[in-house]
Amino acid sequence: MGSSFEAKIAQDVSVKGHVLLKAGTKAFGKVSSSRRNPRRSEPLAVELTSVSMNGRKVALKTSPVAPHGPPQTARQAHYGHTAGTTVVNPQTLLQFQLLQPVSL
């Protein structure tokens, strides 16, 4: 938990017709939840912590997002859970929601 990652904004982010973040903008985040337990697994959850704008990092707070992948075995599909390592493919699209206003 707490591991950091770098991502890119997949599409322009606009407010009232004004583009605030262009597609391809670097975003930074961290793993906010992860637990390995053979009897119970808590899903992997990640959140964004900042974006890069004009050469500077702008702090932000988003809600955690749990990337979902297909179950690895028929048993997992039947019972609706996964165990072990969670893999998030590099091209996985995630949608985050701001929890606080951001000043730019």
Q: Which is nearest to 61 in space by CA: 101, 33, 9?
A: 101
Within-domain flag for 86: no
Weakest mean pLDDT among 24-28, 41-45, 63-67, 95-99: 41-45
Within-domain flag for 43: yes
Question: What is the C-alpha R_g of the chain?
Answer: 16
What residue numbers bound the domain in which 69 lies? 4-79
Domain count, the chain: 1
Kindly report the three-state secondary structure assignment for every residue of 17-80: CEEEECCCCEEEEEEEEEECCCCCCEEEEEEEEEEEECCEEEECCECCECCCCCCCCHHHHHHC
Q: Predicted confidence band at 29 (pLDDT cuts at 50, 70, 90)?
A: very high
Within-domain flag for 94: no
Within-domain flag for 15: yes
Within-domain flag for 84: no
Output 49 or 68, whichever has higher pLDDT.
49
Within-domain flag for 99: no
Within-domain flag for 98: no
Within-domain flag for 92: no
CA 32 to chain centre: 9
pTM score: 0.72
Output 31 or 39, whichever has higher pLDDT.
31
Q: Predicted confidence band at 48 (pLDDT cuts at 50, 70, 90)?
A: very high
